[in-house]
Structure 1
Amino acid sequence: MDVLTDLLHRARAQNALVRQLIQQPPWSVTFAEVPPLSVVAAIEGRSVVRLDDQAVPLDAGDIALISGVDEYTIADDPATPPQILIRGGRKYLPGSDEELCGDWALAPRTFGDGLPGATVMLRGAYELRGAVGGRVLELLPSLAVVPTGSRTRAALDLLTAEVGCDEPGQDAVLGRLLDLVLVLALRAWCARPEAGPAWYQAMADRAIGAALRRMHEDPARRWTVAGLAAAVGMSRASFAARFAALVGEPPLTYLTGWRMTLAADLLRDTDRTVAAVARGVGYEDAFAFSAAFKRAHGVSPSAWRRRTWAS
């Protein structure tokens, strides 16, 4: 299993939200109290994403990945003043608690006026899980724009064709198509040498990519540098040097960091004992596990569990 697949599989929440906007300019919609990750795509016409002091244009087919923010605005033009605030699935006047009335729906999951010359936008939102979800968010700045490409455009066309339908299994179809759009957009973003994390670039290396896959497929195995090197057909010294150069840290440092991420979510999401969690991520000695966990997260495993269960 490659690193990106493992991250997305473990972080994925259910019931991803997908909505379509078909609105004639001028228009401006602000989304507040948003989930950790949003996917906004321009389907027809030009638009902008406004985030803090940024106003980034989107051409048809462009995808914006928005992460780790409380609020953002999509509009037809940077100069269009805010018109609608969406919070908790309800519409408000911006800067007011006055809820707007009236039916804005054109079809299931489709909103706007639907008039000729309208801009068409898609928006998907993800609730990501736990510490692994945090690692997904670390891949991105608060706003990452992926220009249109043949593969992303084809996936967006499929999602657009399905979003207005209301047939059995529709939420499952939309969730999987949104996943496809997200994965293709993340690939495109991370593949940029100046943007992607070191481990993403390292996956293209035959030996180091294979070592990363092995660690993610079986993180609890008692891996050693020598064992990983032998598994990918390299000497211990050459493997250790190449891994550190490409990934940015030694092999076992990377492995320990991933194990501590998995452990944090096991402590939060299960009632396993600390000793059982330790064994689940490759530690026979619960004391050694607790020391490693505290170095990574700043608190003991028990304190982490109490804090996350209380939140």
Structure 2
Amino acid sequence: MDVLTDLLRGAQARQSTVRQLIQRPPWALTFADPPDLTLVTILAGHCWIGFDEPARPPRRLAAGDIALLTGDADHTVRDDPGTPPQVVIRDGRKESLSAEPVASQPLRPRTYGDGLPGATVMVRTAYTLHGAVGARLLDLLPPLAIVAAGPRTRATLELLSAEVVRDEPGQDAVLHRLLDLLLALVLREWCIRPGGKIPDRTNAFADPAISGALNLLHGNPAHRWSVAELAGRAGMSRAAFAARFTELVGRPPLSYLTDWRMTLAADLLRDSDAPIAIVARTVGYQDAFAFSTAFKRARGVSPSAWRRSAIDPD
């Protein structure tokens, strides 16, 4: 299993909202208290998207472009950088900031705006992510990443444009699977392009030997991996492999493995009532005491304390 697949599976991305917005200038929408991860997809026209901070200027999106946003900072989508916010959307409710707020009447299923010719058409999808794996995925992503229009996403966007306005049996299932596909495509496009930053802010995916080693670690984290075995699988000497892995990933191979095991263990402790010894074996520790020591070193608390805090945060 490759790294991105493993992260997406563990993060269990779920859509909380899917909305198509059709707006003619001037318009500006601020989204307050956003979820873990948001996709803004431009189907027609263009817009500007940003965080309303001087240090982070807004970015322009054209038809076919997709913006990926993470974190809890408010962001604004508008027709022009000079258009002031007209509406704030917070907790699913709209608050008007202008005497002439942006049009938002229902037009079709999941579709709002003015619906007039020449408008910008976009789909905004809000995702929630799960547990420690979800947090790890978010940590590897920037506040704003843009994937430009291209052949790899075009067919999915065409399907999304056709399906988002329909109201037929199984419609939610169709949309959610399309959006899962779109999210995976966007993350893949972003992380394999020059300067992509998964995993751990590196270009490790571009190196076949190191990428292959990462896939081995994620495919079987409970295996008793050694640097020598990983180096042999990569066709490199032990010293050369360890140096190359550390350079690209930012930490030594076994340190990366331990960190990933602790991430998996944190979610197993949170989401199941399996005994700690079983959790330990699942992530590669035959000795529950050694596992508890490693977990406390990584998380600052014992496995049992972590589980209690996950059940009762107060």
1:74 to 70, 73, 77: 77
Alpha-carbon distance in 1 for matches of 2:220, 2:190? 27
For residues 17 and 234 of structure 2, what CA distance do their matches in structure 1 show? 41
In the other structure, the counterpart of 1:211 is 213
Match of 1:282 in 2: 284
Task: Give the C-alpha shift of residue 198 in structure 1.
Answer: 5.1
State the distance in 2 between where 1:103 and 1:152 align. 28
The answer on whether the counterparts of 1:198 and 1:248 sit within 8 Å (CA) in structure 2 is no
Unaligned stretches of 5+ in structure 1? Answer: none
* Residue of structure 1 in register with 2:113 after alignment: 112
Deviations 1:46-86 (A, max 9, x none): 21113131322211211111101242221111222222222
Equivalent-residue separation in structure 2 for 1:81 and 1:267 (angstroms): 46
| AA of the residue aligned to 1:238 | A
Q: Secondary structure at the match of 2:273?
A: coil
SS in 1 for 2:203: helix
In the TM superposition, what is the alpha-carbon distance from 1:126 to its structure 2 partner?
A: 0.7
Contact 1:131–1:262, Cα closer than 8 Å, also in 2: yes
Q: State the Cα distance separating 1:103 from its structure 2 match.
A: 7.3
1:302 to 295, 301, 304: 304
Residue in 1 that maps onto 2:14: 14
Deviations 1:250-309 (A, max 9, x none): 111111010011011111111122222111111111221112112212222222222222
- Would you say 1:83 and 2:86 are equivalent positions? yes
Moved over 4 A (4+): none
What is the match of residue 45 of structure 1?
45
Structure 2 counterpart of 1:124: 125
Partner SS, residue 203 of structure 1: helix
Between 59-68 and 299-308, report the one with greater CA deviation.
299-308
3-state SS, counterpart of residue 243 of structure 2: helix
Q: Which amino acid aligns with 1:38?
A: T
* Residue pair 1:20, 1:122 contacting (<8 A) in 2 also: yes
Instruction: Decide whether the 8 Å contact of 1:67 with 1:137 is kept in 2.
Output: yes
One-letter identity of the residue aligned with 1:80 = T
Q: Equivalent residue of 2:35, what SS?
A: coil
CA distance in structure 1 between the partners assigned to 2:242 and 2:196 by the alignment: 24
Shift of 1:120: 0.5
Distance 1:284 1:161, change over 3 A: same
* Structure 1 position 14, deviation (Å): 3.4
In structure 2, the partner of 1:26 is 26
The range that moved more, 45-54 or 112-121, is: 45-54
Q: How many residues align?
A: 306
Question: 2:153 — aligned with what?
Answer: 152
Cα pair 2:196 2:203 within 8 Å, conserved: no
Change (3 A) 1:111 1:103: closer
Q: Distance in 2 between matches of 1:141 and 1:284?
A: 37
Aligned AA for 2:20? Q
| 1:272 and 2:274 matched | yes
> Greater CA deviation, 1-10 or 190-199?
190-199
- Per-residue CA distance 1:210-265 (angstroms, 9 max, x = gap): 22112111111121222223334444333323322332221111110100110111
| 2: CA distance, partners of 1:198 / 1:171 | 32
Partner of 2:243: 241
| TM-score, normalised by the number of residues in structure 1 | 0.91
How many Å separate the matches in 2 of 1:253 and 1:16? Answer: 35
Report the AA paired with residue 126 of structure 1. Answer: Y
Q: Report the Cα distance in structure 2 between the residues aligned to 1:227 and 1:94, rounded to whole angstroms.
A: 61
RMSD: 2.2
**Alpha-carbon distance between aligned partners in 1 of 2:6 and 2:145, rounded to the nearest angstrom:** 21
Shift of 1:153: 2.7
Give, in whole Å, the separation in 2 of the partners of 1:285 and 1:242.
31
**3-state DSSP of counterpart to 2:173:** helix
Q: Which residue of 2 aligns with 1:194?
A: 195
Residue matched to 1:226: 228
Q: Deviations over 1:172-204 (max 9, x none)?
A: 211121122222222222224434235663234
2:143 paired residue number? 142
For 1:277 and 1:162, how far apart are their aligned partners in 2?
Answer: 42
The answer to whether the aligner puts 1:64 opposite 2:58 as a matched pair is: no
Q: Distance in 2 between matches of 1:52 and 1:284?
A: 51
**Aligned-partner Cα distance in 2 for 1:44–1:182:** 19
| Secondary structure class of the residue paired with 1:158 | helix
Distance 1:59 1:28, change over 3 A: same
CA contact (8 A) 1:85 1:92 kept: yes
